[in-house]
Amino acid sequence: MEMTKFGKLAALGLALAIAAGCSSKGGDSAGEGAVDPNAGYGANTSGVDGNLAAEEAALRAITTFYFEYDSADLKPEAMRALDVHAKDLKGNGARVVLEGHADERGTREYNMALGERRASAVQRYLVLQGVSPAQLELVSYGEERPLVLGSSEESWAQNRRVELRK
Amino acid sequence: MNIVKSLVLLALVWVGMVQAADPLVVSHGADRAIPIAVVPFGWQGGAMLPEDMAEVVGNDLRNSGYFEPIPRQNMLSMPTTAEGVFYRDWKALGAQYVLVGNVNPDGGRLSINYALFNVATEQQMLTGNVAGTQQQLRDMAHYISDQAFLKMTGIKGAFSTRLLYVTAENLATNNTRYTLQRADYDGARAVTLLQSREPILSPSFAADGKRIAYVSFEQKRPRIFIQHIDTGRREQVTNFEGLNGAPAFSPDGSRLAFVLSRDGNPEIYVMNLATRQLARVTNHFAIDTEPFWGADGQTIYFTSDRAGKPQIYRTNVNGGGAERVTFIGNYNANPKLSADGKTMVMVHRQDGYKVFQIAAFDLQTSRLKVLSQTTLDESPTVAPNGTMLTYATRQQGRGVLMLVSTNGRVRIPLPTAQGDVREPSWSPYLQ
């Protein structure tokens, strides 16, 4: 009985959390943000002590970081990969371009600004990890260079991104 | 003339309101487009004319939303001159106006006589002549439409105006061809003004109709250029770090408003084009973009997400506080004012919805009317006389341009080149 009750409460709490998550995105469609192209990358390799180098290599291979709709908040998966890139950049002093992108919804110039805001978020994170701002150039392409064509939640999720380019 | 305009505007607003409630109810007085017979023009030369003049004129008048051309097959006679017009033929069809024309070869050029008649009063309202080359046939047709439209409605016709737009053709992965096009307002006779492998966006005309400004990524960064249409001469206006975007000429053409993020986030700036002196207009950590000048040359309307979601604001060009203009809807962006300054069109998303549509917002009454019905509508641009509007949308995965009459009667896709078509921008009246 007690367990069932707890289970129900937990389910209710989860539902509320999901609802709150949705409404905080300004009433956009349910399902937005449900697609996370970064999810899974590197996540399964964590905690395997003997394979740190492999994990780092896997994270280093991630150079595209995805965002929620109308958001420039970095996802935890992106931060893990950026930690590795920050370490590399501090070591080699290389210059990279952070290319910000948006999905096709909304106006083109607003999306240019949104793409830049995303690239800035990545830049700020890297600078916090000790990378020199001089190594990082921001360029926003807005919605002008979609990675995937099409007007679906899946393609939009792929297009809301920052690409780190050497 | 002003009374006619206000009445028309009133009727438009009213039609919009009623349509929103019930598409079957229409307004009084102007409940139907006015039937007009545009009779096939006579041609006194040899080979067939490359343009069907009456069709161009009829489409013009229909596109305004004011008139409905009578189908040719219903016509009882096809006069080409005033002498051939028998009012009873046109009364029988319910035509309120008849327009006839006759094309004559004239020493290598073409000369067109035309005349317009009011069927009810049995009066000739207009007669005129226009001449030009064979390549100018469409110009002459649009000219005749302008003359007739002014005579019948009291409103200056905008059929001789042009559109700028951008196309993107996906040739292969990471290989897209972008072009900047200039076409007649109805999409015909497109000419390529610029071609690039990098994105082009936000084209717009100066009020003189001779200069255009746009954003090009040709240097792998967004930079603003001004191009002189006749000579093709280009000048790069900006080269600042970060965003360089959304250029808009001031009404007198001496200044250019645009967006720079060189201070860390997108702000609106104004450049004096003669001195290249730069003045910052907005100052806020949010996104400020898409400036559009009020007719006074003092007010700038723009998009800002300073309240969390994009909304329209206005500010004095000399800075100072910004005043929020839109409160209805959870996304309002890309404001464009009608020439009379009374109506603002914009990209609009209703509260609780996720589709982007084009809406007209009455700046005096704050009444809002949604003008489009698809879901990814953007880049509204208004004809200089306010009767027509063009915007970009998507059809079967392809970007297309739609032309609608402001009264909502006409909605047609514009014929455009291959590829993805976007970013239409209407010219002012041209010489």
Name every chain A residue with its beta carbon within 8 A of the beta carbon of B243. 112-113, 116, 140
Give the pLDDT of residue B174.
Answer: 82
Number of domains in chain B: 2
How far out from the chain centre does Cα A98 lie? Answer: 13
pLDDT in tens, B380-430: 999 999 999 999 999 888 999 999 998 889 999 998 777 899 999 999 999
Range of the domain at B415: 162-426
Q: Mutation test of the interface with chain B: which of A25, A104, A107, choosing the one with the most B Cβ atoms within 10 A?
A: A107
Cβ B89 vs Cβ B412: under 8 Å:
no
Residue B294 in tokens: 């009020």
| pLDDT tens, residue by residue, B287-309 | 999 999 999 999 999 999 999 99
Q: Which residues, in sequence order, are CB contacts of A57 under 8 Å at separation 6+?
A: none
Q: Domain boundaries in chain A?
A: 37-165
Whether the pLDDT of residue A123 is over 90: the answer is: yes
User: pLDDT digits over B244-280, tens only?
Assistant: 999 999 999 999 999 999 998 999 999 999 999 999 9
B180 and B144, same domain (yes or no): no
Is the domain of B381 the same as that of B244? yes
CA distance B196 to chain A (A): 13
Judge if B104 and B182 occupy the same domain: no
Q: Calculate mean pLDDT across residues A133-148.
A: 95
Question: Of B40, B51, B231, whose CA–CA distance to B132 is shortest?
Answer: B51
SS (H, E, C) chain A: CHHHHHHHHHHHHHHHHHHHHHHCCCCCCCCCCCCCCCCCCCHHHCCCHHHHHHHHHHHHCCCEEECCCCCCCCCHHHHHHHHHHHHHHHHHCCCEEEEEECCCCCCHHHHHHHHHHHHHHHHHHHHHCCCCHHHEEEEEEECCCCCCCCCCHHHHHHHCEEEEEC
Q: Give me the residues paired with residue B164 across strands.
A: B182, B425
Task: Please tell me the predicted confidence (pLDDT) of residue A13.
Answer: 42
CA distance B303 to chain A (A): 8
What span, in angstroms and rounded, lies between the C-alpha atoms of B131 and B159?
Answer: 17
Query: In a mutagenesis test of the A interface, which of B218, B261, B377 is the best target, namely the one with the most A β-carbons within 10 Å?
Result: B261
Cβ–Cβ under 8 Å, residues B242 and B262: yes
Query: What does the pLDDT look like over A81-107, one tens digit per residue?
Result: 999 999 999 999 999 999 999 999 999
Rounded CA-CA distance A55/B381 in Å is 52
Q: In B10-55, at which residue ranges do the beta strands (DSSP E only) sit?
A: 34-38, 42-43
Burial of B125 (0-12, 13-18, 19+ CB in 10 A): middle
Name the residue of chain B whose CA is nearest to A98's CA: B242
Average pLDDT over residues B54-59: 98
- Average pLDDT of the residues of chain B: 91
B24 inside domain: no
Residues of B with CB under 8 A from a CB of A: 168, 170, 176, 199, 201-202, 217, 220-222, 242-243, 245-246, 259, 261, 264-266, 287, 289-290, 303, 305, 308-310, 330-331, 333-334, 347, 351-352, 354, 356, 376, 378-379, 394, 397, 422-423
Query: In CATH, what number is assigned to the domain containing residue B273?
Result: 2.120.10.30
pLDDT, tens digit (0-9, with 9 covering 90-100), for B179-212: 999 999 999 999 999 999 999 999 999 999 999 9
pLDDT at B229 over 60: yes
Q: Which residue type sits at B122? A: E
Q: What secondary structure letter does DSSP report for B317?
A: T
Non-local (6+) Cβ contacts of A44 within 8 A are none
- Of A122 and B417, the one with more pLDDT: A122
Residue-level pLDDT at A88: 97
CATH label, A37-165, candidates 3.20.20.70, 3.30.1330.60, 3.40.50.1010, 3.30.360.10 = 3.30.1330.60
**CATH number of the structural domain spanning residue B67:** 3.40.50.10070
- DSSP secondary-structure letter at B328? S
Interatomic CA distance for residues B187 and B138, integer angstroms: 12
